Structure 1
Amino acid sequence: MIRTPWRRREKPLDHAELRRLLPAPGDPELSSDRLRGLEEHLMTEIRNRTPDTAPDIAPDPLAGPPPAGAPAGDRASRPGRRSGRRPVLVGVAAALALAAAGVAALAGGPGGSGGSENPGRVAAPPAGAVPAPVVQVVRGSTAGLAGAVADISGAAARAELPEPGPGQFLYIRSEVSGLVSWEGSDGKNRSYVDKIHPREVWMSPDGAKGWLLEPHGKGTGRDGITLDDPEGGERTLNSPSHAYLKTLPTDPSLLLEKIYDETRGMGNGPDQQAFGTIGDLLREQVVPPKLAAGLYRAAARIPGVVLVDDSVDAAGRHGIAIARTDESDGSRTEWIFDRETFAYLGERTVQTRDAEGIRAGTVRGHTAVTGRAVVDALKQRPAGSAQGGDRAGAPAAPSAGT
């Protein structure tokens, strides 16, 4: 059999001819299954990549050596594998929206640049994104940290929190916003965040059933997504349930030792990982009062933790903050508390130095917990609460310590 030899075309194909030869681009709209898959993938990436350090690192304000599970020499030498932090809370919806926008751009959809010089580059920020706010970075200090932690942990221990019964669900409502990575058609990076929007979570006490509603962009869609765990996976510090939290020790030393031990090798270092793990436990759970008090005292023993005199949550509420800066990228995570009641209000992450194309003072993300309750059914809201798509006009401060 004689084969016709391959010959190079004398002229390159022009764009019109390429369009005739290539199949028509598919629908850039992602299915709910694909979005869920993307979310799971993003969550895996988040668990493996999360930092926390500071130019304001200072010695441990509360006496007591590091836990046995985390000798000082070992902390500096461990390789950085980022942790199971769940800033799902702030960033997953934005990341999913950006991923979908990227698909549309590559397919020549409305999000595409339309130019041949920068194919696939998004010419405008993702829908719903706004310029990231820039604030003055207030330097943290260990002065006053011990007293503030004593007040915060005392308020947490006295808190009267809802306790779910059989068949009931924990409900947490927040206002959230997270960083959106965006590169303009000129090739320059700019810092954008999604607009502050509501996020609602329902979880059964054992963590087997749950629902997430964050109808911003393509985060979860209007109806939300399931958080069910039909296989009943093992509960850990990075994948807790309310029932699991009730099994943890409340003594600060034992808590910190367990945290260092279970997160060994994760994150940007043991100290930052420990701080991030505690923050995750506090953010979107109903933590038993004595455990919350122990977690705050444990956090104060982590090297580099400081007190910041003023911070602002996503609802605009000012308060004091327990904070730690990630040495690797200069982002400082701040847990914000009411000045009078010492109730946990929310969290903010601020860039403390120019790094990774993000200027100092940029607010990378912030949250505000506006409600915690126990309800009788999945997707049920407490009486008097705002609907999922509405912004609460005056968010009520959550119970102290959570």
Structure 2
Amino acid sequence: MSTIPEKDLPPGRHRVLREHLMREITNETSDTSETDKANETPSPVRPPFWRRPAFVAPVAAAALSVAVVVGASVTRDAASDGPPSPHSAPSDRPERRSSESAARLLERVAVAAGKLPSGVEGDEFVYTKSDHYHWKMDPDKTVSDCPRTLEGHAYGVQERWESVDGQHVGLSREHRSGGGVVERPIAEQLPGKNTVNFYEQAEELPTDTDGMHRWLYGLDPGEKASGKRPADVAAFKKAGALLTGNLLPTKTAAALYRAVSKIPGLIVLEGARDAAGRTGVAVAMDGVAAIGFGQGESRSELIFDEKTLDYLGESTVNLAAPKDRCDALAAGDLVGSVAILERTVVDRKGEQP
């Protein structure tokens, strides 16, 4: 295996580390002064534990570009003086509104998807390598006078081998960010009613725009969408889950992109980020938390490579400014993200491209 050089921390992390170091230096200086006066030995201060796992994206197949990425997570010791503050400066948050419409972008994505190679056999396996990040809460811990700890958690890289026809036992291999590998079997799958559980089920989805639009909204033939916001949000989330969780036949993918373009309330953003630190152009919906937590002050994004238009993954971004010092997420911080590093078809489970 080749050695991958480390990259810089993601935007804002240097500032967090620097601020924490200055606090520790200040505390140490203060403790030393008091000790000199009292001729006593100060109690040691246990620093917080910092993790900096490296996420490696291999050479991608036709569906994805090459990326070498580094993620970072930060935890805060319960005895320290406050919650972590992984805020990035406004200049570090690259998301900006694009003048391109969602319909125009998704049409370009649909055309690009239609050109990808196809041809999959039932006894093969869909191989997916992905990177996951979630901002989590632990209500059982307190930090100073704050009601709970909040920390960025890099779940590590996951590899999955899923049966094309759902009739063969697959494999999940998790590369934990703290070290170690955990393997679990993926059971044989039955077709889902409202979800797609394997590739051959995806082949049964509509390949025309109107049919796919009805599927996203759960409509019968001839039935029209209600036009209500909850139905639009549910359709957008369903599209994101389908894209993030499955390899799609080319015609199905093209129909999906064109159907998504008909969902009201979409915007296009440049510089959207995924769990792997990559940036791309995103089709997004405000007030939606598809990954992680969120109560209306968040935005979910479907992210594409700006040049190849390959699907990179899905992110949920916090939109609200911190209410107080216990509110650890700034506007623009990731709440959760799944980055698709590689997705292709292989002959056997455990086989890597």
Same fold (TM > 0.5): yes
Shift, 1:150, TM fit: 1.5
Is residue 275 from structure 1 mapped to residue 236 from structure 2 by the alignment?
Answer: yes
Q: Evaluate the alpha carbon distance shift between residue 318 and residue 138 of structure 1 in structure 2; reply closer, same or farther with a 3 A threshold.
A: closer
Equivalent residue letter for 1:198: V
Counterpart position of 2:215: 258
Question: Does the CA contact (< 8 Å) of 2:166 and 2:197 recur in 1?
Answer: yes
Q: Evaluate the alpha carbon distance shift between residue 165 and residue 181 of structure 1 in structure 2; reply closer, same or farther with a 3 A threshold.
A: same
Listed one character per residue, the Cα deviations across residues 31-67 of structure 1 (whole Å, up to 9, x for unaligned) are xxxxxxxxxxxxxxxxxxxxxxxxxxxxxxxxxxxxx
CA distance in 2, matches of 1:262, 1:181: 37
Counterpart position of 1:290: 251
Counterpart position of 1:184: 142
Q: 1:226 aligns with which of 177, 185, 193?
A: 185
Q: Evaluate the alpha carbon distance shift between residue 352 and residue 374 of structure 1 in structure 2; reply closer, same or farther with a 3 A threshold.
A: same
Q: 2:275 aligns with which of 280, 289, 314?
A: 314
Q: Evaluate the alpha carbon distance shift between residue 224 and residue 257 of structure 1 in structure 2; reply closer, same or farther with a 3 A threshold.
A: same
Aligned to 1:311, the other structure's residue is in SS state: strand
Is residue 174 from structure 1 mapped to residue 174 from structure 2 by the alignment?
Answer: no
CA distance in 2, matches of 1:131, 1:308: 25
Listed one character per residue, the Cα deviations across residues 150-204 of structure 1 (whole Å, up to 9, x for unaligned) are 111110111124x332422110011221122135332344542223621111100
Q: Evaluate the alpha carbon distance shift between residue 300 and residue 269 of structure 1 in structure 2; reply closer, same or farther with a 3 A threshold.
A: same
Q: What is the count of residue pairs matched by the alignment? A: 253
Q: Whose strand proportion is higher, 1 or 2? A: 2
CA distance in 2, matches of 1:350, 1:257: 28
Correspondence list, 1:2-401, <5 A: 132=86, 134=88, 136=93, 138=95, 140=97, 143-161=100-118, 163-182=119-138, 183-186=141-144, 187-195=146-154, 197-208=156-167, 209-216=169-176, 222-229=181-188, 232-261=189-218, 269-326=230-287, 328-354=295-321, 357=327, 358-382=329-353
Question: Does the CA contact (< 8 Å) of 1:142 and 1:305 recur in 2?
Answer: no
CA distance in 2, matches of 1:324, 1:200: 29
Listed one character per residue, the Cα deviations across residues 255-276 of structure 1 (whole Å, up to 9, x for unaligned) are 12122127999xx922111111
CA distance in 2, matches of 1:160, 1:234: 25
Question: Does the CA contact (< 8 Å) of 2:315 and 2:338 recur in 1?
Answer: yes
Which segments of 5 or more consecutive residues in structure 1 lack a partner in the other structure?
A: 1-110, 114-121, 125-129, 383-402
Question: Does the CA contact (< 8 Å) of 1:168 and 1:376 recur in 2?
Answer: yes
Q: Evaluate the alpha carbon distance shift between residue 218 and residue 318 of structure 1 in structure 2; reply closer, same or farther with a 3 A threshold.
A: closer
CA distance in 2, matches of 1:132, 1:216: 21
Q: Evaluate the alpha carbon distance shift between residue 142 and residue 311 of structure 1 in structure 2; reply closer, same or farther with a 3 A threshold.
A: same
TM-score by length of 2: 0.63
Equivalent residue letter for 1:234: P
CA distance in 2, matches of 1:341, 1:347: 17
Shift, 1:312, TM fit: 2.2
CA distance in 1, matches of 2:164, 2:283: 28
Counterpart position of 2:8: none
CA distance in 1, matches of 2:322, 2:165: 40
Aligned to 2:306, the other structure's residue is in SS state: coil
Question: Does the CA contact (< 8 Å) of 2:122 and 2:163 recur in 1?
Answer: no
Q: Evaluate the alpha carbon distance shift between residue 204 and residue 188 of structure 1 in structure 2; reply closer, same or farther with a 3 A threshold.
A: same
Question: Does the CA contact (< 8 Å) of 1:237 and 1:281 recur in 2?
Answer: no
Question: Does the CA contact (< 8 Å) of 2:110 and 2:255 recur in 1?
Answer: yes
Shift, 1:284, TM fit: 2.8
Q: Evaluate the alpha carbon distance shift between residue 188 and residue 257 of structure 1 in structure 2; reply closer, same or farther with a 3 A threshold.
A: same
Aligned to 2:218, the other structure's residue is in SS state: helix
CA distance in 1, matches of 2:235, 2:128: 23
Equivalent residue letter for 1:210: G
Question: Does the CA contact (< 8 Å) of 2:96 and 2:271 recur in 1?
Answer: no
Aligned to 1:368, the other structure's residue is in SS state: strand
TM-score by length of 1: 0.55
Aligned to 1:158, the other structure's residue is in SS state: coil
CA distance in 2, matches of 1:131, 1:237: 39
Q: Evaluate the alpha carbon distance shift between residue 262 and residue 180 of structure 1 in structure 2; reply closer, same or farther with a 3 A threshold.
A: farther
CA distance in 1, matches of 2:191, 2:274: 33
Shift, 1:227, TM fit: 2.0
The alignment's C-alpha RMSD in Å is 3.3
Q: Evaluate the alpha carbon distance shift between residue 243 and residue 270 of structure 1 in structure 2; reply closer, same or farther with a 3 A threshold.
A: same
Aligned to 1:293, the other structure's residue is in SS state: helix
